[in-house]
Structure 1
Amino acid sequence: MRIGLLASNPELPSNQRILEAGEERGHRIRFYDIRQCYMKLDAEHPEIHYRGGRLLNKLDAVVPRIRPDLTFYGCALVRQFESLGIFSLNSAEAISHSRDKLYSLQHLLQQGLPIPTTGFADSPLDTDELIDMVNGAPMIVKLLEGPQRRGVVLAESRTAGESLINAFKSLQANLLVQEYIKEADGKSLRLLVIDGKVVCAVERQGIPGQFRHHKQQSRLLAARISADERKLAIKAAKSIGLKVAGVDILRSRKGPLILEVTSSPALDDLEEVCGKDLAGAMISAIEKQLGWKRKLATPVNR
């Protein structure tokens, strides 16, 4: 098969692993920088080109790994591939929905899936009531447009929360305020779902003094998960429409709560902890979708 990896940085370990996995399985897989792709919208001859004029219309499938700041253009590009009948491992619609933090939380609730209590307001005049909605301090303040793993702050006191909210509001930034789950003790689960199955589960523990789990600022350990946590991750990915998803879960007294569903989860650190070929599982999902069967070796006549 001819597969295109749509991303921004060919040197990223996760992207390298996907390229390796595709080649190991005998496919022609190439990296294409999203920003170097351009498209022709035309009723009779729609096209997608890569820098230098190379035509990409003959690809069998694409694997989108879209950076948060390229969501708009990246999703437009994936939609163009889909309109040409080229399979995308994650659809443009699903990626777009996963990147809209407010929409995805509302959608998860509509599907009956649990999340931490969350408040959203437009006016700074509502700051006090917003804080009360999430049971006061400590609380989590999240920028809706924040890049991945950024724009998330723990406000340990009511005063700190008010200052943060009002400062962000003065910059016309949209934000969520979320209850702090004390019993989680700064830990969260990352479950990787590929094609309707949880293929890896890790526990992330932030280093002392750090709240948000950044790759360089957290410790990953293989995690044993419950049947409820497994089902919740699978349902969350399916409800957003993602074939590949990282589902972040908090363990609370009320049971597991979904923090976030991401469409471009890092693979390399998860592979290292879980000891599994996760990039290969992504390629296998494409093979299954397109009905591709590995060629068997020619039998030797005896």
Structure 2
Amino acid sequence: MKHLISMVDVEGELEAIIDDGIDMKRNGYRRDLADKILAMIFEKSSTRTRVSFEVGMQKLGGHTIFLGKNDIQMGRGETIEDTALVLSRYAHLIMYRAFSHTDMVELANHATVPVINGLDDEEHPCQVITDLMTVKEHKNRLKGLKAVYFGDGSNNMANSLLLGCTMAGMDISIVAPRQYWPADAYVNKAREWGKVTVTEVKEGAALDADVVITDTWVSMGDETEKKERLAALHPYQVNAAVMQEAKPDAIFMHCLPAYYGNEVTKEVAHGPQSVIFDEAENRMWAQMAVMKWLLK
């Protein structure tokens, strides 16, 4: 049985999943998951994760059950193990949007149906599969391209981008303050597949970039560090000057929500090189492909 807990889970399958998402978007889809049930556990709220999974599952003929943190007993006495075993009797898939990667792994270890990581504190594989689908949709390839990520290099997006980009044959550069550099474990694993650079901000950091990426500087759960983070990350804003360093046909991506004036200017986010709303739509298509792959 397969799970999607980390980007490493799609090694050897990544491009096929991406291609299926692009094909469904361009050429239509069938009710391949008719009468299948997706149980969705949300410890952290989200606009895109909930809507994209619900609409995607409906398009494929299936159904979803939304379980917010106040809807279930997990965390209020019932164990993760029992929750996984019970939900496995009702649903064909479980999507979990969690605070803790440790809890994510525990749920997957005890579930008897596939588990999808909808985000945790270590990785965000659904988003990075989406991002790579968006890159391929616009560039017609992944191999040989260069991605540059600006901002918090230690967060879940940076971790999954390191793994996903190199797995797909892309070079990736993480541009971040030293205190927010990614953990060695992610850098070393990514370097098994491809070229990785980790650096502080400098002139020309986006040079030759095909893709420029950023993410929010203050994720849910980091609010107590907001003042410190905004000060440290201010020089890492993606603005018109950064985009001018990149290739003329470079695209800009952000998984949203965006905080204009912090990690990116609205001029860039809503500008001609931005594909953030294609990216948001592609969450649905990429996750449809993921669910089909897991139940294949």
- The two structures share one fold, judged by TM-score above 0.5: no
Compute the TM-score of the two structures, normalised by the length of structure 1: 0.42
Greater helix share, structure number: 2
- Which of structures 1 and 2 has the larger relative contact order (alpha carbons within 8 angstroms, sep 6+)? 2
